[in-house]
Amino acid sequence: MNFELNFATNPELRAFEDEVRTWLDANAPKDVPRAADPIRYTHEEFEWRRDIGRKLGAKGWLFPTFPSEYGGGGLDLDRATIIQLALDDYRIPVPPYYNSGGPLAAASILVWGTEEQKRFFVPPILRGETVTWQLLTEPQGGSDLATVTTKATRDGDDYLINGQKVFVGGAYEFDYAWTIVNTDPLAPRHQNVSWLMVPASSEGMTRQPLDLFTVHGAGESPVGPKEAVFFDNVRVPAFNLVGGENNGWKVATTHLEYEHGGAGHLRNIWVLDEFFQYCKETKFRGKPLSENQDVRDILADVWADYQVDKLLGMHTFWLHHTKRPMSYEGIQSTFYHRMFSLRTSQRIQQALGYFGLVSDPQWTPNDGRTEVFVRYGLGGLHGGGTHDTDRVIMSRRMGLGRNASEAAGQMV
């Protein structure tokens, strides 16, 4: 694994980095304020983020390593790394707005869809023209995805959908819902599910905000408020069913591999860098917090954990983009990240006490971002299946308790 991009001996890479950063200076200058929390996003900020997404997409920089014939950048690992590190430095998450279903749907369609479906659905996602939510969880459960009861029944050239999803979505509008449904209630588990791209404008689809369930994602990435979505005789063309009727469990292996960290990450958690700075600058009883022995111990623990989190994400990023064989690495990195975030939330509370818990920007450090991180420590254990299912997946990948180890899902 080598992330030391040697610009001195590679003028092409240096020129590319200059191009990316000059572009970001012009289009997403660092002094444009970013809200601490998508819950506090204005619609104006959402639109600003959409605009950056479309511009990045037009250049192939939104999904740099996805194939260019389907709207991705078709770029190599070096260039993808340069883009990712620069975007992170400018605090632009990828995508810059809530689009959880976009990369997952695009990858799943590229692996399991027909050529016509790839050409129709994928380019608008990869170019940042559409926003896609993932609609998986239902009131009876989320970790066990095979239990979905939202039903899709074939009706001529269409499917009719009825049921309910919960804890889904994010801030403001979306264009498509990438949705897992039950297409045969009488068939055995895993042989009864399918995936549909459901246009958000479909008649019979209604949204209900879950006001008490509001969270924030890792680093700067927006998760935002959650919703329940209801399907009442929603009609979608049969063309929108991806991967074949009742073949959805195979499609799910690709979706879940991405959702469970299989593409890795190169990200700083800026809120932690700000937390360190805050402890250096803020005085308590005449001395900076960072000179208090208890706080120093906490900062050292957070720092060590943070470096391991980054290295695991980086290692998986490298494995994925160099198409090395993969097993438990994605889920290991996700699991570590969740547990590290929870530990860090607790440590921040120990170091800052009351000030780590209040959301009033006047009191909480760093414009409220620290409190948002603390709040998300717990919420983050659940997204995309819980930390308990991370453990189950890792064990299966390692072959614990089984005769053969389970393979990782197929990726683009």
Ligand X SMILES: Cc1cc2nc3c(=O)[nH]c(=O)nc-3n(C[C@H](O)[C@H](O)[C@H](O)COP(=O)(O)OP(=O)(O)OC[C@H]3O[C@@H](n4cnc5c(N)ncnc54)[C@H](O)[C@@H]3O)c2cc1C
Q: Does 385 sit near ligand X (CB under 6 A)?
A: yes
HSE, CB side, 13 Å, CA atoms: give it for residue 161. Answer: 33
Cβ proximity to ligand X, 57 vs 384, nearer residue: 384
Of 74, 199, 219, 379, which one interacts with ligand X (CB under 6 A)?
379
The one catalytic residue in 45, 220, 227, 259 is 259
Binding residue count for ligand X, defined by CB under 6 A: 22
Cβ neighbours of residue 193 closer than 8 Å, sequence gap 6 or more: 145, 146, 148, 180, 181, 182, 183, 246, 248, 249, 252
| 328: three-class secondary structure by DSSP | coil
Residue listed under structure tokens 């470096």: 307
- Interface with ligand X includes 223 (CB under 6 A)? yes
d(CA 135, CA 143): 13
- Among 241, 384, 396, 408, indicate the residue that binds ligand X (CB under 6 A): 384
Residue 368 CB burial class (10 angstroms; 0-12, 13-18, ≥19)? buried
Cβ-proximal residues to 171 (8 Å cutoff; 6+ apart), any chain: 38, 39, 41, 46, 97, 98, 222, 224, 225
Beta bridge partners of 206: 230
Is 345 a binding residue for ligand X by CB under 6 A? The answer is: no
Residue with tokens 């900062």: 299
- CB-based contacts of 371: which residues, under 8 Å, 6+ apart? 356, 357, 358, 359, 364
Task: Report the residue number, 53 or 222, with the smaller CB distance to ligand X.
Answer: 222
Query: Under the criterion CB under 6 A, does residue 351 sit at the interface with ligand X?
Result: no
* Nearest distance in Å: CB 179, ligand X: 9
Q: Is position 179 an interface residue for ligand X (rule: CB under 6 A)?
A: no
Q: How far is the CB of 173 from ligand X (least distance, A)?
A: 15
| 20 touching ligand X, by CB under 6 A | no
- Stretch touching ligand X by CB under 6 A, among 10-18, 132-140, 184-192, 281-289: 132-140
Per CB under 6 A, the segment of 239-247, 284-292, 304-312, 379-387 that binds ligand X is: 379-387
User: 195 has which bridge partners?
Assistant: 180, 242
- Would you give the end-to-end CA distance of the chain in angstroms? 20
CA 142 to mean position of chain CA atoms = 17
Using the minimum distance from each CB to ligand X, give the nearer residue, 82 or 171: 171
From the list 64-72, 80-88, 131-139, 275-283, the region that binds ligand X by CB under 6 A is 131-139
Residue 135 interacts with ligand X (CB under 6 A)? yes
**Encoded amino acid at 385, one letter:** G
Cβ-based nearer residue to ligand X, 25 or 144:
144
The nearest distance, CB 358 to ligand X, in angstroms, is 21
Cα(151)–Cα(76) distance, integer angstroms? 41
Other beta carbons less than 10 A from residue 14's beta carbon:
15
Measured in whole angstroms, the distance separating CA 350 from the mean position of its chain's CA atoms is 28
The yes or no reply on residue 221 touching ligand X (CB under 6 A) is no
In this structure, how many other beta carbons lie within 10 angstroms of the beta carbon of residue 281?
A: 11
Minimum CB–partner distance for residue 133 and ligand X (Å): 6
Site for ligand X in 158-177 (CB under 6 A): 167-168
Between residues 5 and 269, which has the closer beta carbon with respect to ligand X?
269
Residue 366 Cα distances to 80, 84, 90, 260, 279, angstroms: 30, 24, 17, 29, 11
Q: Does 392 contact ligand X by CB under 6 A?
A: yes
Closer Cβ to ligand X, 17 or 309, answer by number? 309
Element (H, E) at 239: none
For residues 65 and 164, which CB has a smaller minimum distance to ligand X in the complex? 164
Q: Of 195, 206, 113, which is closest to residue 159 (Cα–Cα)?
A: 195
Nearer to ligand X, 85 or 378 (CB): 378
Distance CA 94, CA 126 (A): 11
The token pair at 36 is: 């601490």
For ligand X, the nearest residue by Cβ is 142
CB of 180 to ligand X, least distance (A): 8
For the bound state, the minimum distance from the C-beta of residue 166 to ligand X, rounded and expressed in Å, comes to: 7
User: From the list 142, 261, 330, 365, which residue makes contact with ligand X (rule: CB under 6 A)?
Assistant: 142
Half-sphere exposure of 121 (CA within 13 A, CB side): 31
Does 198 bind ligand X (CB under 6 A)? Our answer is: no
Is 4 noted as a catalytic residue in this protein?
no
Active site residues: 259
Residues near ligand X (CB under 6 A): 100, 134-137, 141-144, 167-168, 215, 223, 379, 382-386, 388-389, 392
